[in-house]
Amino acid sequence: MDAVLRAVVVYVVLLAIFRVAGKRSLSEASTFDLVLTLIISESIQQALIDNDNSLTNALLLVLTLVGFDILLAHVKQRVPAVARVLDGLPVVLMQQGELQRDRMRRERVDEADLRSAAREQHGLENLEQVEHVVLEDSGTLTVIPRQRGA
């Protein structure tokens, strides 16, 4: 019984913490984000297992986590408001060539991040060549280049 409870509590608490942390946390934008993800996974592991190294415990944990995930996916589909709260929504950080500095500040994204994404995704040289930039709910930046001849 406690395996199921532990799994659900961990799922819910981690979900809450990451939503509160903001989109850019753990988006693996920096090397340290990856390190942080690893450390978090190690910290949680011991608590989930709780000295019970049996196959049963391990399978129950996986079953509960995946099952709860499926349940939430169904709820999100049926109730869009829940999907919004749990996943967040994309935010346009640059529209039609214009930087939205207030939104960038709130999401902790700076111009350097935008330029970096523009280079990585489209090989663009500068922000003048960018039409829109969207910060997706997953935390990744997507760059839409300015159409040639526009």
Partner 1 sequence: MVERIGGLEVEQDLRFQRRDWMAQRVGWGVMALLVIAALTGLFGRGPASVQHATAADRTLRVDFDRFVRKHAPSALEVTIAPAAVAGGGAAVWLDRRWSDRVRVERVTPEPERVTVEPDRLVYFFAARSPGEPVRVDFELSPERVGDAWGRVGVVGGAPAEFRQFVYP
CB of 143 to partner 1, least distance (A): 12
Nearer residue to partner 1 within complex by CB, 31 or 102: 102
CB of 6 to partner 1, least distance (A): 8
* Interface contacts to partner 1, rule CB under 8 A: 16-17, 19-22, 50-51, 84, 88-92, 95-96, 103, 106, 131-132, 134, 144
Nearer residue to partner 1 within complex by CB, 19 or 115: 19
Strand, coil or helix: 125 = coil
CB of 49 to partner 1, least distance (A): 11
CB of 148 to partner 1, least distance (A): 14
Nearer residue to partner 1 within complex by CB, 18 or 31: 18
Nearer residue to partner 1 within complex by CB, 36 or 144: 144
Distances (CA, A) of 90 to 61, 72, 135, 138: 32, 20, 6, 8
Cα distance between residue 59 and residue 90, in whole Å = 35
Helix extents (H) in the chain: 2-21, 31-49, 55-78, 80-87, 101-106, 111-122
Q: In the sheet that 141-145 helps form, which strands lie side by side, from edge to edge?
A: 98-99, 91-95, 130-135, 141-145
